Amino acid sequence: MQPLKPVSPGARLVLGTGFFGVFIAFWGLMTWSGLVPPLFLASPSKTLLAGWSLLTEYGFAGDIAVTVWRVFGGFAIAAALGVPLGLMMGAFKGVEAFFEPFISFARYLPASAFIPLLILWAGVGEAQKLAVIFIGSFFQVVIMVALVAGATRPDLVEAAYTLGSRSTGILRRVIIPAAAPQIAETLRLVLGWAWTYVIVAELIGASSGIGHMIMDSQRLLDTGQMIFGIVVIGLIGLATDVLFKALNRWLFPWAAL
C-alpha cells in the first residue's frame, strides 16, 4: 500500500466486505460469550430473528416505506430550493453578501430544536416531519453548493467573457457544468444527514416509521428490534450512496477526466 495510490474495484469490495465480517464477528463474540448481557445488546442471530418478526408479523415494511418517503420528500424540497440559491450565491458576490450571514447563522441551529415549534405550527402529521428534514438539510445544501460554485476556475470564466458570453450565459454554460459533479456529491452527503433528522422527527409524536418502531422497542427493552431498525437505516443509506455514485459517474463523465 502506498499513500494516495488507488486500489482496484475488486480489492475495494473485498476490503469493504471484510470489515463488515470482522465487525459482525466481534459483535457475536461479545454477545454469544456472555460478555455483554442480552438486555444491553442482542446477538446477531437474535437481531435477525427480531427483524424477521418485525417484517412478517408487525408490518415493519410499511414503516420503512413511510420513513423513506419522509427522507426523500423533505430532502427533495431542500435540494430544489437550496441548489439554485447556492448557485446564485456562488456566482454573484452581491447575492452571497446578502444571504451568507443568515445562512451561516441558520445552519448551526439544530433541527431537533425546532420540533416543539413545528408541532405547534404544523401538528404531528407529515408536514412536521418534512419540515424537520427540510430545516436540517436546506441550509447545509445552500452553503456547500455556494462554495462549490464559487470555486469555479477563473480562467474558464475569463475565456467565456472573451468569447462574448454574458453573466447568465456564464452561469449556465460554465459555472453549472463545472460545479455539477461536486453539487451531486454534496447532495449525496446531505442525504446521509437527512436520515438522522427523520429519526429524530419520528421519535416524537409519530405513529409510524423506523424511529417510531425504535421507540416502541425501547419501551419493551427489545434491543434486537432496535438494532435491526438501525441496521435497516444503514443498509438503505448504503444502497442510496452507491446509487448516487453510479448516477454521478453516468451524468458527469467529464468529472473523471
Q: Are 150 and 196 in contact (CB under 8 A)?
A: no
> Into how many domains does the chain fold?
1
Measured distance CA(179)–CA(174) in Å, rounded = 8
pLDDT digits (tens, 9 = 90+) for 150-161: 888 887 777 777
Mean pLDDT (the chain, rounded): 87
Percent of the chain with pLDDT over 90: 42
Structural domain includes residue 16: no
Query: What CATH number is attached to the domain comprising 185?
Result: 1.10.3720.10
The pLDDT of residue 166 is above 80: no
Residue closest to 137 by CA, chosen among 113, 94, 172, 106: 106
Structural domain includes residue 7: no
* Rounded mean pLDDT, 217-241: 90
Structural domain includes residue 5: no
Structural domain includes residue 51: no
Q: Quickly state the pLDDT bin for 1 (edges 50, 70, 90).
A: low
pLDDT digits (tens, 9 = 90+) for 83-129: 999 999 998 889 999 999 999 999 898 888 888 888 888 887 889 88
The pLDDT of residue 37 is above 60: yes
Residue closest to 198 by CA, chosen among 133, 122, 140, 134: 133
pTM to 2 decimal places: 0.86
pLDDT score at 255: 67
Higher pLDDT, 32 or 172: 32
Lowest mean pLDDT among 73-87, 133-147, 196-210: 196-210
- The domain of 74 spans 65-256
The pLDDT of residue 257 is above 70: no
The pLDDT of residue 197 is above 60: yes
